[in-house]
Amino acid sequence: MSAVLPISIQTDEIVSYNPASGAEVGRVQQTSTDEVVAAVTRSREVFHKWKLTSFSERKRLVMKAREVILAEMDDIAHLISAESGKPFGEAIAMEIAPVLDLMQFFARKSEKMLAPKRVGIGLYSLLGRSSKIVYHPLGAVGIIPAWNFPFSIPLGEAVMALMAGNTVVIKPSELTSLIGLRIGEIFTKAGFPDGAVQIVTGDGRAGAALVDAAPDKIMFTGSVTTGKKIAEAAAKNLTSVVLELGGKDPMIVFEDANLELASSAAVWGAFCNSGQACSSVERLYAQESIADELTRKIVEKTKDLKQGGGEREDVSIGAMSSERQIRIVEDHVEDFRAAGAKVETGGRRNPELEGLFYEPTVITNAYNDMRGMQEETFGPTLPIATFRTEEEAIKLANDSEFGLTASVWTRDYAKGKRVAERIEAGSVCVNEVLYTHGIGQTPWGGFKNSGRGRTHGREGLMELVQPQHIHINRIAILPDAWWMPYSTEAVKTFRGFAKYFASGSVFQTTRLLPQLWKRIKELL
Ligand code: NAD
């Protein structure tokens, strides 16, 4: 019988358990509302100094933080594994390695990406005007992450915010508070000024307090339900919010795909982190002619996977993070069974293991009207449905409230790109799966209910600054024709502006010159 873990959240203390063994990993205090408000106030004070630091100083500190992580890599990976249940190796591959890459990228490139930019202003430049955009940091940025990538997501977002000149308050998930605190220690060891990065701990109450404290931006990762609550609370202070929410990501496999590769990709894409990745493959659509062969390969490969405690290096499937999450998986699998789908392998808690282990589960005869094909499962399940035509595959893939990522498998790259562009999702891979969150250089975010705004890439960095337009008139010797007082000549000139100048054509605009001169003389 698998262990049911005790409720870990108490009023003022949070006990962190290893979901694989039930052993206590540590405990932290719930940060009070007053303390959260104080953290945001302090963050703003420190911001006024931090924003004046040079990019090279910020880069030096971020690169130092990388060194701290590299020196403590195994220890950090063990903590991630112990608190979240994922295999130790996966903590390195899927969290530490990608965030180290993100750190070096933004340390080196932020200055260039945020350098002032001249923008073309069309015919206004003929009037001796020019425009440039200067990027200013926002202030104190509140980061509220989920538990599933508890190290890489908040750390990566914090580094981007800091490189842009902001300070940061992180409220880690209550299931992974110790990893959150470890992130704070890394910044301290690297030599960041006191208060540049603060960690407040607690459950949704601390998260809500952080939103109500009106930081200058909220970066939220989590469920649609909480995302909506945060958007509503943030609106009261007009706090702008980036929402990284759930997914129900489709994988389409065409009959001309490399089935050996596609089957291995489906297994990794569905079961990595026990399926608890926002970009996990949650629906597989196989073209009818190859569905049986693909399914056979997937089932064989799934049966070969070892499940167990995350500290073992040969374990591929670890524990799930919480009892609540495993119950959602059980509910969806039961619903599939009741609706007539077939469980090919798995479909139960692992009877040989204590702790929160659900067997990797492959399901066939799935249809889009089944609940497990619509609601996010966030567990180790891979339901397989079939399609006949390209058009049908696109329709099935887009039949979802979510749109985070998707993947298309074919040897015909033109078809792959064509299909990718018609799928409603923030990232679509052709012959790849799941891992693009790890590419810090590219924007990350969802269409539809999968989110608002972006993290990562230039687009993500732009979420953390406010653009300022500086407009200069280099021949400030004459009044503008649109200034007061108005007159009949003025109105004639305005008509000319509408007809000729606003056409964008220099040739047309020359027709306005005599009238313009009359008007200017009138103003002198
Ligand atoms: P969750 O919404 O329950 O919690 C997320 C965070 O919000 C936690 O830190 C929690 O303490 C906090 N929180 C809860 N109530 C709050 C409130 N009222 N105000 C402020 N903060 C509050 O989500 P979860 O179960 O931790 O994470 C799973 C979800 O996250 C899945 O839906 C998954 O797809 C999504 N996710 C998305 C991405 C992405 O990049 N799109 C990445 C990882 C996870």
Task: Report helix angle 513-523 to 488-499, nearest 10.
Answer: 150
pLDDT digits (tens, 9 = 90+) for 335-355: 999 999 999 999 999 999 999
Choose which residue among 226, 237, 248, 404 to substitute to test ligand 1 binding: the one with the highest number of ligand atoms within 8 A of its C-beta: 226
Rg (CA), the chain: 27
Q: How far is the CA of 245 from the centre of ligand 1 (A)?
A: 7
pLDDT score of 11: 62
Choose which residue among 221, 377, 447 to substitute to test ligand 1 binding: the one with the highest number of ligand atoms within 8 A of its C-beta: 221
pLDDT digits (tens, 9 = 90+) for 353-379: 999 999 999 999 999 999 999 999 999
Q: How far is the CA of 174 from the centre of ligand 1 (A)?
A: 10
Q: How far is the CA of 286 from the centre of ligand 1 (A)?
A: 31
User: Ligand 1 pocket, 211 CB below 6 A?
Assistant: yes
Residue type, 350: N
Confidence band, pLDDT 50/70/90 cuts, at residue 3: very low
Whether pLDDT at 1 is above 90: no
Mean pLDDT across the chain: 96
For the residues 310-315, what does the mean pLDDT come to? 92
Active site residue 272: no
For the residues 186-200, what does the mean pLDDT come to? 98
Whether pLDDT at 7 is above 90: no
Q: Quote the percentage of the chain above a pLDDT of 90.
A: 97
**Rounded Cα distance, 66 and 186, in Å:** 9
User: Do 164 and 467 form a contact (C-beta atoms < 8 A)?
Assistant: no
Q: Is 415 helix (H, G, I), strand (E, B) or coil?
A: helix
Active site residue 429: no
Of residues 12 and 515, more confidence is placed in: 515
pLDDT digits (tens, 9 = 90+) for 155-184: 999 999 999 999 999 999 999 999 999 999
Q: How far is the CA of 154 from the centre of ligand 1 (A)?
A: 12
Q: How far is the CA of 211 from the centre of ligand 1 (A)?
A: 14
For the residues 274-295, what does the mean pLDDT come to? 98
Looking from the CA of residue 203, the nearest atom of ligand 1 is 11
Looking from the CA of residue 437, the nearest atom of ligand 1 is 40
Whether pLDDT at 111 is above 50: yes
Nearest CA to ligand 1 atom 13: 204
pLDDT score of 12: 86
**Catalytic residue, candidates 174, 244, 282, 376:** 244
Reduce the secondary structure of 267-326 to three states and give it as a string: HHHHHHHHHCCCCCEEEEEEEHHHHHHHHHHHHHHHHCCCECCCCCCCCCECCCCCHHHH
**Rounded Cα distance, 83 and 16, in Å:** 7
Confirm whether pTM is higher than 0.85.
Answer: yes
